[in-house]
């Protein structure tokens, strides 16, 4: 279990983490979401004792990180920033970490097998691709078979196979009763991975709820309907209390149905099943009926819209952060 109580971190004039309090429960994957610069990485660094909080405290299984004996056996962390010597081999990197905890060498080889780096284990880590570097980071995090895992943007740089692997691994670890906190800016990734979400913006807590609740709290479910008779269907839906809006241009979404030039309606306030029943009862032809699952993104944008600094282009935060990939950590 991870607990943050009134956690704050100030860098100069910027309050990177603003009185955050939350609890990460074991046995489920908790997603840590926020726009770039929201303070996700800084919060994780505070939990791990790498940075000292300006106020408040964070504990892991009831203890501050620095008080944990053999910390790698309790906590595994994958940081967004690189933490491997470019001239050292992957195996020696894991070996020295294992030795600090008194872990056997066999554990190092087991982790290299697990992440699929055995063949390159004796090569310089500096020659690794981004994806291989991430796998080495995962191996380091799992080295001590920890009860608590903090993963900062773990799918960064991974190919689709790697993304799936990480996703299944996190779910597997959570199912073993471990505490898993994973930060990401990929909202759709979180929608299929995380059971619970902690959303922050500009260092402040915006939401701490089950993933399903966060989605439901957003703009609401919408359904995409393609029909040659949009006028008739709109009448039926409006009569039932739903809302249908004609999309401007049917093409442009890049999906396989783009060849179909029938108009598209976006329906809210009514489940897909009811729309289908209405259409059938009135003999309206439907070419497509798709519940929109990407609405975590909408929910996220809605939650964080106040915290984004749009309209404040003179603010130092925009000037000093030209690279959109840069995350919360100020350094």
Residues forming contacts to another protein in the complex (CB under 8 A) are: 45, 48-52, 65-66, 68-73, 75, 77, 79, 81-89, 92-93, 95-97, 99-104, 106-107, 110-111, 113-116, 140, 142-145, 161, 165, 168-169, 172-173, 176
Q: Which residues of 163-187 are buried (b: 16+ CB within 10 A; e: fewer)?
A: bebbbebbbebbeeebbbbbbbbeb
Cβ of residue 201: shortest distance to another protein, in angstroms?
23
Nearest to 16 by CA among 37, 45, 2, 36: 37
DSSP 71: G
Complete edge-to-edge strand list for the sheet that includes strand 14-24? 14-24, 2-11, 55-60
Nearer to another protein, 104 or 271 (CB): 104
Nearer to another protein, 114 or 209 (CB): 114
Cβ(226)–Cβ(264) below 8 Å: yes
Distance in angstroms (rounded) separating the CA atoms of residues 194 and 192: 6
Cβ of residue 103: shortest distance to another protein, in angstroms?
6
Cβ of residue 29: shortest distance to another protein, in angstroms?
14
Nearer to another protein, 4 or 267 (CB): 4
Cβ of residue 174: shortest distance to another protein, in angstroms?
12
Nearer to another protein, 168 or 253 (CB): 168
Cβ of residue 324: shortest distance to another protein, in angstroms?
21
Nearer to another protein, 4 or 68 (CB): 68
| Matching residue, tokens 């087991």 | 110
Instruction: For strands 55-60 and 2-11, give the pairing.
Output: antiparallel
**Cα-only R_g, the chain:** 23
Distance in angstroms (rounded) separating the CA atoms of residues 324 and 171: 29
β-partners of residue 200 are 205
Nearer to another protein, 9 or 202 (CB): 9
Residue 220 in tokens: 């609401």
Cβ of residue 127: shortest distance to another protein, in angstroms?
13
Cβ of residue 1: shortest distance to another protein, in angstroms?
18
Nearer to another protein, 11 or 262 (CB): 11
Cβ(115)–Cβ(138) below 8 Å: yes
């Amino acid at each position: 279990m991870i607990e943050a109580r009134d956690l704050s971190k100030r860098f100069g004039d910027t309050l990177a983490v603003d009185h955050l309090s939350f609890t990460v429960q074991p046995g489920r994957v908790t997603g840590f979401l926020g726009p770039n610069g929201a303070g996700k990485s800084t919060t994780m660094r505070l939990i791990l004792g790498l940075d000292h909080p300006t106020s408040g405290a964070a504990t892991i299984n009831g203890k501050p990180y620095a008080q944990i004996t053999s910390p790698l056996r309790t906590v595994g962390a994958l940081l967004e920033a690189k933490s491997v010597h470019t001239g050292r081999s992957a195996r020696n990197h894991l070996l020295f970490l294992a030795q600090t905890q008194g872990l056997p060498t066999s554990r190092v080889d087991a982790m290299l097998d697990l992440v699929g780096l055995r063949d390159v284990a004796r090569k310089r880590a500096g020659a690794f691709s981004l994806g291989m570097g991430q796998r080495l980071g995962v191996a380091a995090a799992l080295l001590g078979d920890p009860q608590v895992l903090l993963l900062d943007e773990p799918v960064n740089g991974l190919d689709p196979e790697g993304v799936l692997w990480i996703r299944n691994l996190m779910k597997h670890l959570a199912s073993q009763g471990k505490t898993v906190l994973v930060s990401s800016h990929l909202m759709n990734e979180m929608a299929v991975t995380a059971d619970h979400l902690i959303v922050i913006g500009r260092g402040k807590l915006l939401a701490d709820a089950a993933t399903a609740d966060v989605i439901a709290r957003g703009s609401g479910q919408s359904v995409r309907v393609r029909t040659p008779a949009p006028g008739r269907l709109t009448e039926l839906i409006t009569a039932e209390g739903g809302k249908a809006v004609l999309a401007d241009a049917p093409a442009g979404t890049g999906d396989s149905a783009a060849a179909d030039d029938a108009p598209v309606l976006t329906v809210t306030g009514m489940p897909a099943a009811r729309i289908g029943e209405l259409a059938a009862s009135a003999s309206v032809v439907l070419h497509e009926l798709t519940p929109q699952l990407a609405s975590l993104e909408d929910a996220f944008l809605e939650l964080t819209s106040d915290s984004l600094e749009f309209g404040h282009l003179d603010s130092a935060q925009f000037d000093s952060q030209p690279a959109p990939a840069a995350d919360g950590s100020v350094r």
